[in-house]
Structure 1
Amino acid sequence: MNIQQPQGKQQWPECVGKTAEKLMQLLPYNSMVTMDYRMDRVRVLHDGNGVVQQIPHVG
């Protein structure tokens, strides 16, 4: 299966340290998620205080 990489920005390191409520699809850090790859999805993993814990990326 040949998956094409999306065009444009794929990571948002500037989000780290900001509150998750100001960002995209929000998930608590270490949440169970599906492993399917989707070019139209960005997951933002945050801690209990709503602070982003890792660089959001496409997938």
Structure 2
Amino acid sequence: MSDDERKSWPEYVGKDANEVEQKLQAEGYNTQVLPQGSPTTRDYRLDRVRLFVDGNNKVVQTPING
């Protein structure tokens, strides 16, 4: 997958993280659900999507793969 194929899902902001996680896993992505502001590693993996959530388990920023 080239950088041109990098994906983002702005439509998932505000949605329940469990539902978003299931959809992304069905597309073949490995997901990580993390509290907003969590530190992350800087490695780049196109098969991974991190979901940053608030205290209500709602996605708070646009998920991207990488």
For residue 22 of structure 1, report the CA deviation from its aligned partner: 1.3
User: Is the 8 Å Cα contact of residues 6 and 39 (structure 1) preserved in structure 2?
Assistant: no
**Structure 2 residue ranges without an equivalent (≥5):** 22-30
Give yes or no for the alignment of 1:52 onto 2:59: yes
**Structure 1 residue ranges without an equivalent (≥5):** none
Kindly tell me the number of residue pairs found equivalent between the two proteins. Answer: 55
Larger Rg: 1
Per the normalisation by structure 1, the TM-score is 0.80
Show structure 1 runs of 4+ deviating over 4 A. Answer: none
Give yes or no for the alignment of 1:17 onto 2:14: yes
Per the normalisation by structure 2, the TM-score is 0.72
